[in-house]
Amino acid sequence: MRRRRVPRSQKGTCNLRRAGHRPRSRRTMLLRPRSVALCHRGVTLPRPLGLSSTSCSRPSATPLARCWISRTPPRTRSRNDSKGGRRVSVPLKFRDATLDDVAVIAGLQNAAAGALTARFGPGHWSSLVSERGAALSQRHARVRVGRDGRRILTVLRLAIKKPWAIDVSFFTPVKRPLYLTGMAVSVSHQRQGLGRLALADACTVAADWPADAIRLDAYDAEAGAYGFYARCGFAERGYVVYKGTPLRYYERLLP
């Protein structure tokens, strides 16, 4: 009597059929993690340190054991986790910029302008900065940079000279105001609280200047940061249209 030839796809299920077990489909076996399938069959797997001998046989094991069985690494608190879904601020050290930082500063500001253009379309915020312009700005203003190790992540300028777009009649009369311009944060590190830290450093520098107030203007558009300045303690002083560009004025008085 010739022996019946069993197809290759059914070789692993013959013994299960004789014992009364219902074979699983090939698709189910592929989708199921191998470690879980072996645990249900009573096979003992090597376990990492810290797990009990019953971790593979009991589905109600510790979260670490369940993650190991399903080959999913346990969740750890990352640098970007914080309350309310906001990312944790990166610790920065601030100092005055030098001519050696010109190339990095120009690249950071141009990258920020490009990100705004890609998100909101072209506008006055799309203008680029050359290295020569970044070097000249250090002659007429105090440029502050925030560093995380060797990387420059924030930049802003504090100057005594009033920008053309500022109308002083909208602001509180003080003897020694400073004007904040050219603020930018690294695109890959935005929305992490670095801009708030840069403004806090600017206020400290202005108080030691000494100065009585910090004034600035922001675009009155979706690409503008006027909401950010309001959340950082700057008071809105007016609304103007300068050469077809709507602007909002903000001010912070210093003690």
pLDDT tens digits along 38-85: 444 444 444 444 444 444 444 444 343 333 333 333 333 334 444 444
- Mapping DSSP to helix (H, G, I), strand (E, B) and coil, where does residue 238 land? strand
C-alpha to C-alpha distance for 128 and 111, rounded to whole angstroms: 9
- Structural contact between residues 192 and 246, judged by C-beta atoms closer than 8 angstroms: no
**Residue indicated by tokens 């930049």:** 155
pLDDT-derived band at 90 (thresholds 50, 70, 90) equals: confident
> What residues form DSSP beta bridges with 151?
148
**Sheet containing strand 142-148, strands side by side:** 93-96, 142-148, 151-159, 177-185, 213-219, 245-253, 235-242
Average pLDDT of the residues in 204-218? 96
Decide if pLDDT at 232 tops 90. Answer: yes
Decide if pLDDT at 216 tops 50. Answer: yes
- Mapping DSSP to helix (H, G, I), strand (E, B) and coil, where does residue 147 land? strand
Closest C-alpha to 221, from 244, 195, 247, 241: 247
- Structural contact between residues 147 and 92, judged by C-beta atoms closer than 8 angstroms: yes
pLDDT-derived band at 29 (thresholds 50, 70, 90) equals: very low
Closest C-alpha to 188, from 94, 108, 98: 108
**Residue indicated by tokens 């059914």:** 10
Which pLDDT value is given to residue 53?
41
Cis omega before residue 210 (within 30°)?
yes
Which domains are delineated in the chain? 17-69 (no CATH), 90-253 (3.40.630.30)
SS (H, E, C) 32-85: CCHHHHHHHCCCCCCCCCCCCCCCCCCCCCCHHHHHHHCCCCCCCCCCCCCHHH
Average pLDDT of the residues in 151-162? 97
pLDDT digits (tens, 9 = 90+) for 92-146: 999 999 999 999 999 999 999 999 999 999 999 999 999 999 999 999 899 999 9
